[in-house]
A and B are shown apart, each in its own frame.
Chain A
Amino acid sequence: MKIVIIGSGDVGFDLSTMLSREKHDVIVIDQDKNALVKASENNDILTLHGSGTSASDLLKAGVDKADLVISATNIDEINMVASMLSKRLGAKKVIARIRSEEFIAPGAPIVPSDVGIDSVINPELSVASEILQLVKRSAASDIVDLANRQMQVIGIRLDHDSPIIGIDIESYALQNKNIDFRVVAILRGGITLIPKGSDKFRANDHIFVIALNDSIKQIIRSTGISEQSIHNIMVAGGTSVGRKVVKMLLDFRQDWNVKLIEKDYDTSYKIASDYRRLLVLNGDPTDPSLLASEGIMDTDVFIAVTDDEESNIISCLMAKHLKVKKVIAMVSKSDYIPLSQTIGLDSSVNKKLAAANEIHRVVRGRNLLNTVALNGIDAEILEFKVDSRSKLVNKPVSKLMLPNGCVIGGIITNGLARIAVGNSVISDGDSVLLFCRSSIIDEVSSKFG
């Protein structure tokens, strides 16, 4: 695929890295020469010094022959103009990063398709939604919505005293016969396992389970973890993610008491003006005396989403040390992700991954409908469409010869989702949700494609 990326900022840079590694032809346009140098040093891409809003620069980059143009600058208006121009010049597909929710709200006078945008990405919004999910299900470390929110994959960490330790997956399933679910992965000591029925749970395992939304609560209960009741939430960082998280938290529950810590006074004032019920504190989120005086001991959830990832980790560790029930950190540097899991952060969210997931939803094979990567685990969730030519049709799941490291989690028939069990049969036209080790994605794709 020939892909033009406009803007080599944080999102643009990560996308160019990811897409070039996926063997696409990537051309990056930016006005900042240094950003281009950094991008081309690290990746096998072509760079062009120019403006995304200049038609001649776009033509130089070859948007007229591009399969995909991604406008990923920090400024919505530039992305919109660049998208409009690219579409006019003949780009096949245009994706724009739009941060303002006014453009995507219902009833907006201009919708993205009016300006030639086929798909909008908003990584900040995705991350914020993920954080809200994590707060709602305080026992879960990861939550991914699937099949139009009918199903979820949730990650749970097993404590030493969890009643299911030492039990194999098959017996665990028998114990909970009334619930449809499937254990799709176990992260054990940094290694991802796609488990078989005979595998046993061990202490400190990080297990991933797929289930219908209604059964999630029962599953969490069966692992021996109690859902905490949430009252006090503290958010560190008035970044765009922080602002979106705060808004979602305040809108979700009236009785949640939300505090936000922001270093910059003017930003603090602006946010405090926007949200009446929010208490905004102007200070350093890694300052223990500030955290203490603002009642970190009574805080149920601590969320660190500043732009400084190191400080996110530090402040979350500090909060954990001060007995906060759940801490969530925004960590996007790939080097830190395995670390954040071993040092005891409950959950981490990743802005880069959010952007990548959104792009992958658009850049995909013929029958691949969706892919979702999870933070810190070496496997992805894939959603395939199955047609009559496939060898998989009309066979029970247990008889399918799938490669090792791949498990079918759910089947969607006519928009209705169900959990795949041994004797489930896949019909023509169904979609299948697969949990699959990253290294065998190509092999699996060929089987379904």
Chain B
Amino acid sequence: MSTFQRSRSAGRPKIDFRLIAGILGAFTFFMGFALLIPIPVSIYFAEETVYSFAISSAFAFVLGGLIYFIFKPKDEIRPREAFFIVSVTWIVLSVFGSAPFLVSGVVDDFADAFFETISGLTTTGATIFGGVSHDNRINPNIEDLPKSIVFWRSILHWIGGMGFIVLSIAILPFLGLGTTNLLHSESSILESDKLTPRVQETAKLLWGVYLILTLAHFVLLWLHPKMDWFEAINHAMSTMATGGFSTKDSSILWFDSAYIDWVIILFMFLAGISFAMHFRLLRGETKLFLNNRETRFYSFIVVLASFLISTILIFQTDYTIPEVIRHGTFQALSIITTTGYVTNDYGAWPSLALIILIALFFTGGCAGSTSGGIKMFRHMILIRAVGREIRQSVHPKAVIPLRVGNVIVEPPMVRRILSFFMLYVLLFLGGAVILTWLGSDPVSALSASIASLGNIGPALGEFGPTNNYAGLSAVGKWALSLLMIIGRLELFTVLVLFSVPYWKE
């Protein structure tokens, strides 16, 4: 850093709001482009929504562009500002993202529109469509929505899956210094998985792999006669983002095709693996891919859970064995990867199968994947930490570093993960308390809370696979929206903004 830059940054406040505003302006402007994407779809299907998207987009362009040019951010983004930028960006994006729902009139309540948008961006996949709200408004069924609006929901998934900010870093050259801080506040990709020395290159590679996998998924779905191109493209985006929005109210169950189920199973599985690993696989480094501890642990959990659920279903339901394996694997993967697709009303499953599924609500895919949840690497480290603690009790004086495979996990990382877990449990319980207080039964409240925090989507009971979130009160929707953002940004990015040291020290 040159002397000139150092002297300038020394004069900056602890939290540089001019910089933050400028960067937020840039992101808002960029969101304008995203809002243009559904327009060809509206034109193709000759829908009136073309104006809603145009208006929303213009609004984003003007406001975002204006703010950007007033503040012209040039300084380096420091970690403190990165937390703020990333958290607020997600809220701002949700506001602009909900505009098409409101302008087109398919939703007439801001809380509903915001909930739907944030559920899309965070790849939760909880929907308010197809139900009656608490104040007796009737939200249309998904199948009755304009195609462009359905498409917009999938676009929200797809952008939010790999991360809007990661995409911006990949494409926008003017974001400048400190973007690494932004990347790590939004993406769960591990520092060790940074593919190239330059963060922009890494972001480009990640999005490139994401695009390739989405296209491959699209083609495989399209091959099936029950899927037209529009449905295939929506489901491809939704699966790769581990989102869960479907073009049908009854989700994947509607198609009732073994081929479609297995294609989606494959791509849900892939979406749950770190995209840095996919990049290595595409580059031919198969060994690295196969030997990755987290990928192996994830695969093990997927196989184990599918096997257990299928076995229970064989004995306790009337399905044939191929059906049982298909539904068991699909539903297990759908929950583990936090996608939230439904092929079978798991709410009606035998209790033993259901309790396994509930346990899976607390898993999540690998770090650096598009999935949400606690994620496999944290579980691996938590398990090892427990094992280490037991060994330590036998040898009180022993120095036992925590290892995953041959990698040493340093104590600060272990501490961070332990606090993450504690915080996760507290947020989960807090969400459940609020929902119960608003009138839900405990099972619905607990499951909806974890389904939002883990970005899964469908829960149990009144928010179960055959229901939706329309009937929840506005307060409940805001609470769950907040849980979704907190969960998507892996707790600390958002929660640090609510801490005293962030503002005072």
Chain A residues proximal to chain B, CB less than 8 Å: 262, 265, 268-269, 271-273, 276, 279-283, 290, 293-294
Interface of B is mostly: loop
A293: chain B residues within 8 A (beta carbon): 396-397
Partner of B395, one of A262, A265, A268, A279: A279
Q: Which residue of A lies closest to B396 (CB)?
A: A293
Closest Cβ of chain A: how far from B224's Cβ, in Å?
49
Measured CA separation A269–B397 after assembly (Å): 12
Residues of A within 8 A of B395 (CB): 279, 281, 294
A290 CA to B397 CA, complexed, in Å: 8
**Nearest CB in chain A: distance from B338 CB, A:** 33
Question: Taking CB as reference atom, which chain A residue is nearest B400?
Answer: A272
Q: Is B291's CB within 8 Å of the partner chain A? A: no
Q: Provided the pairs A273-B408, A276-B406 are in contact, do residues A294 and B397 lie with their beta carbons within 8 angstroms?
A: yes
B375-406 CB contacts (< 8 Å) to partner A: 395-401, 403, 406
Residues on the A chain within 8 Å of B396, using CB: 293
Q: B401, A281: Cβ atoms under 8 Å?
A: no
- Docked complex Cα distance between A128 and B401 (Å): 25
A268-B399 in contact (CB<8A): yes
Collect the chain A residues with CB atoms within 8 Å of residue B401's CB.
Answer: 269, 272-273
Contact A282 B403 (CB under 8 A): no
- Determine the residue in chain B with the shortest Cβ distance to A262: B399
Q: How far is the CA of A276 from the CA of B400 in the complex (A)?
A: 9
Cα–Cα, bound, A81→B396 (Å): 45
What B residues does A272 contact at CB under 8 A?
A: 399-401
- Nearest chain A CB to B433 CB, angstrom units: 41
Q: Which of B391-426 contact A (CB under 8 A)?
A: 395-401, 403, 406, 408
Bound Cα distance from A283 to B408, whole angstroms: 22
Residues in A with CB closer than 8 Å to B399 are 262, 265, 268-269, 271-272, 280-282
Query: Restricting to B145-195, which residues have a CB under 8 Å from any CB of A?
Result: none
How far apart are A259's CB and chain B's nearest CB, in angstroms?
A: 9
Binding site for A on B (CB under 8 A): 395-401, 403, 406, 408
- A236 to nearest B CB, angstroms? 13
8 A-B residue pairings within 8 Å (CB atoms): A262-B399, A272-B401, A276-B403, A279-B398, A280-B398, A283-B397, A293-B396, A294-B397
Q: Which residues of A contact B408 (CB under 8 A)?
A: 273
* A287 to B401 CA separation, bound complex (whole angstroms): 23
Report the bound CA distance from A279 to B391 in whole Å.
Answer: 10
Tell me the smallest distance from the CB of A59 to a CB of chain B, in Å.
Answer: 41
Shortest beta-carbon distance, B397 to chain A, in Å?
5
Closest CB in chain B relative to A233 CB, distance in Å: 16
Taken together as a complex, chains A and B put the C-alpha atoms of A271 and B401 apart, in Å, by 10
Assembled-state Cα–Cα distance A281/B397 (Å): 5
Bound complex: CA A272 to CA B408 (Å): 10
Lowest 6 A-B CB distances belong to which pairs? Answer: A268-B399, A280-B399, A283-B397, A281-B397, A273-B401, A272-B399
CA distance A279 to B398 in the complex (A): 7
A279-B400 Cα distance, complex, nearest whole Å: 7
Find the residue from A265, A279, A283, A293 having the highest chain B CB count within 10 A.
Answer: A279
Query: From residue A310, how far is it (CB to closest CB) to chain B in Å?
Result: 22
A282 & B406 in contact (Cβ 8 Å cutoff)? no
- B residues within 8 A CB of A269? 399, 401
Q: What CA separation (Å) do A174 and B408 show in the bound complex?
A: 59
In chain A, what residue has the closest Cβ to B407? Answer: A273
Give bound CA distance, A267 to B232, whole Å: 58
Once the chains bind, are B403 and A281 in contact (CB under 8 Å)?
A: no
CA distance A281 to B408 in the complex (A): 18
Question: Min CB distance, B118 to chain A, in Å?
Answer: 42
* CA of A273 to CA of B403, assembled, Å: 8
State the CA gap A348–B219 with chains docked (Å).
Answer: 74
CA A269 to CA B408, docked complex, whole Å: 11
Chain B residues, Cβ within 8 Å of A279: 395, 398, 400
Q: A273-B401, A273-B408, A281-B399 are in contact. List 10 more A-B contacts (CB 8 A).
A: A262-B399, A265-B399, A268-B399, A272-B399, A272-B401, A280-B400, A281-B397, A281-B398, A293-B397, A294-B397
Name the residue on B nearest A295 (C-beta). B395
Alpha-carbon separation in the docked complex, A281 to B391 (Å): 12
CB distance from B385 to the nearest CB of A (A): 15
Closest to B399 in A: A268
Q: Nearest Cβ in chain A — how far from B411, in angstroms? A: 9
Closest to B406 in A: A276
Nearest Cβ on chain B to A268's Cβ, whole angstroms: 4
Once the chains are docked, how many angstroms separate the CA of A265 from the CA of B398?
10
Q: Which residues of A contact B403 (CB under 8 A)?
A: 276
**Closest beta carbon of chain A to B216's beta carbon, Å:** 39
Instruction: Tell me how far the C-beta of A347 lies from the nearest C-beta in chain B, rounded to whole angstroms.
Output: 27
In whole Å, how far is B110's beta carbon from the nearest beta carbon of chain A?
Answer: 53
Q: Which residue of A lies closest to B403 (CB)?
A: A276
- Bound Cα distance A293, B406 (Å): 29
Chain A residues near B398 (CB-CB < 8 A): 279-282
- Smallest CB–CB gap between B457 and chain A, Å? 41
Cα distance A63–B408 when bound, in Å? 46
Q: How many Å from the CB of A264 to the closest CB on chain B?
A: 10
CB distance from B504 to the nearest CB of A (A): 33
Cβ distance A257 to chain B, nearest Cβ, rounded Å: 12
Contacts of A280 in B (CB 8 A): 398-400
**CB closest chain-B residue, reference A281:** B397
Smallest beta-carbon distance B334→chain A, Å: 37
Give every chain B residue within 8 A of A271 (Cβ-Cβ). 399
Tell me the bound Cα distance from A2 to B406 in angstroms.
Answer: 50
A281 to B406, CA, bound (A): 20
A279 to B395, CA, bound (A): 9
